[in-house]
Structures are given as C-alpha cells and as structure tokens.
Amino acid sequence: MAEKAPDSIDLSAFPAQSIDDVVVPVPSEVFNVLDKLGNPKWRAEISENLGKQTGNRSQVALLLGNVIAEGFIAVEAEDPEKVKEIGRRVLTLSKAINVEKAVLERSKSITDKADVKDWHAVRREFDGALQDVKGAMQELGDDDLAQLVSVGGWIRGTHVLTSIVSKNYTSESAELLHQPALLDFFSNKLASLSNRRLSNEPLVQRIRKLLKAIRPLIGNGDGSSIPHEHVKRIHQLTGETVEAITIKGS
C-alpha cells in the first residue's frame, strides 16, 4: 500500500540548496514525495516534445530546465530509451549556452546507468547535472540564466504534479502545491534580473505573469485546502507556458 501523502512538502527535510534563505529541494526528492501519492502512471506524463531551441539564450535556459525535469519523469517511468534521449538533449542545450563541459560526464553516466536500469543512480546524475549547469553559468557570470534554468524546471515539474494530483484529487495531495516561499523567491529573482535585455524578453515577462497568476491559487497558509479547481487552473497555466518554452507547434 502506498504511504499517505504528507500534509505539505517539508523543504527543510530535503537534501537541498539554500539560496537567499530559501531552501530549494533537489528534484529527485520532490519526485520521492510524489511516489507517496500511490502509483502514478508516469509514462502517460512523458512529453514526446523535447523542444525546439532558438538562438535566444533565455529560451534555451528555460528549455534546459524543462528537459532536465523531463528526465526525472522518464526515470519515474523507467523508460531507458527516453532517459538516454533526454541525456543527449541536455548536452546539446548545454553546448548552446557554453556549459557543455559541465555536463559532459553526467550525460555519459546517465546513458550508462540507464542501460543497466540503475534508476536511483540516474536520478542522482540528473540532480547533479542541474547543479553543475547552474554552477557553470554562475562561474561565467550568467546568474540570470541560471535562475531561468531553475524556473524552467519548476514550471514543467509543477505541470506534471498538477496532472497527477488532479487525476486522483485529495486535499492532502493538493497541499504539495503549497510552496509560497519558493514561488515568491522566483518572482523576486525574475523581477530583479541584472540583464535588462534579458528581463525584457517576452518569454521572461510571460513567466512573471504566470507566477503572479499562480500565487493566489496555492493558498496563504491559513490551513484551508487548495481546491481542485485551483489545481486544474495551475495545470492549464503551466501547460501553456511549457508550450511557449518548447516552441510547440511553431
């Protein structure tokens, strides 16, 4: 029997990165929590579209975060071929923004571990790839792009989370969406990007609006549950943004 879903995600209990006093859980730990919701049909959540990159660095950074999040979904689905495809895509996108060296060994390790179906090891490699990419960007002085990688991953992860929660809605599982500190952190970071040209990119502005729209839907911590209608609305909003990031249909 699956364990009862927790009342909320206890961010302090996760292996994580602390940024400006906000604890950001590593993606694999969030997916561990999702496992407690029962037995989600992960293969149904995998996207066939890994995105079309443009010459726009902000779009590539957001897409990279999106694709890394997709990697965790493929791991949950235990789909070795998709995991390997995603590992190669991560390498291609990293090359497009000059951080290929940071993930070269990770990409190879993802392929090797997927071949032997060592899913825990693959999860660790995707966690490591995310942190390596962000670290390499920060070393290059691209802190703003590093934030976009994080946001891109969060948007895709939230899109999947709302899909899973909505299909078997309970107030307890919906509470997994109650992450006000993390949402406020992303909003503040995007509002204070040092690169003004990046800040004015239409896709970045769209994501600012997305975060603003989602914020009142996730509750205020007053003990009231997040209604099913809000979960479905967040799913719609994040889905539309994922399509914009991946240039779906263009």
Among candidate residues 123, 147, 115, 127, the one with its CA nearest the CA of residue 35 = 123
Among candidate residues 5, 8, 25, 7, the one with its CA nearest the CA of residue 16 = 25
Tell me the sheet residues that pair with 22. Answer: 19
Look at residue 3 and tell me if it is in a domain: no
Look at residue 199 and tell me if it is in a domain: yes
Look at residue 204 and tell me if it is in a domain: yes
Q: How many domains does the chain have?
A: 1
Q: What share of the chain is helix, strand, coil (3-state, %, to 5)?
A: 70, 5, 25
Look at residue 76 and tell me if it is in a domain: yes
Confidence band for 16, pLDDT divided at 50, 70 and 90: very low
Domain, as residue range, for 165: 25-246
Residue 80, pLDDT above cutoff 90: yes
Q: What is the CA radius of gyration of the chain?
A: 17
Look at residue 4 and tell me if it is in a domain: no
Look at residue 20 and tell me if it is in a domain: no
Confidence band for 183, pLDDT divided at 50, 70 and 90: confident
Look at residue 97 and tell me if it is in a domain: yes
Look at residue 15 and tell me if it is in a domain: no
pLDDT tens across 222-245, in order? 667 899 999 999 999 999 999 999
130 to each of 58, 156, 183, 204, 218, how far by Cα in Å?
16, 14, 19, 20, 26
Q: What pTM value is reported for the model?
A: 0.85
Which pLDDT belongs to residue 132?
87
Contact 145, 137 (CB under 8 A): yes
